Amino acid sequence: MRRSIEEHFLGVAHNSLVEVSDEEKLRTLRRLDQFRQWRSLDEKRYCLVCGEIIDGREINVIGPTHANGPLRVTCPTEHCNAVPMEWVQPTDDVLIRMAMVEFERRWLALIIRAGRATQALHKKARRNRIRRTEPKPRLD
């Protein structure tokens, strides 16, 4: 059986999510997040890897792949395996920065769309100019 890169290097299987009670999840977060305090599962964190706001209820608890292995917690966002060290509390500064990044992303998308529309317009105008300069066939 082939193992994924994540399994090979980190020893973590994709399907090792563990169902735990809310109380157990909070205890696990408190124990494994050495960087920030968790008062409840309703607290939110900003993931620096994927840019999403997550809360304690959404966080994945990943079980050991062997009998005595440790539990881990990871970001719930698909394709993001961020761990507590990569989560920060969403302060006003963080939320403002997120809004600015989103604004810049949308602004760039708008500029790209406008550029494509302008290119299409110029291409159409060139085709029309070429057609007008060709002599019309004579009808004798």
Residue 2 has pLDDT above 60, yes or no: no
Go through 114-135 and write b for each residue having 16 or more CB atoms within 10 A of its CB, e for each that does not.
eeeeeeeeeeeeeeeeeeeeee
5-58 pLDDT tens trace: 555 555 544 548 888 899 999 999 999 999 999 999 999 999 999 989 999 999
User: What per-residue confidence (pLDDT) applies to 16?
Assistant: 83
86-135 pLDDT tens trace: 999 988 888 888 888 889 989 999 999 999 989 988 888 887 776 666 66
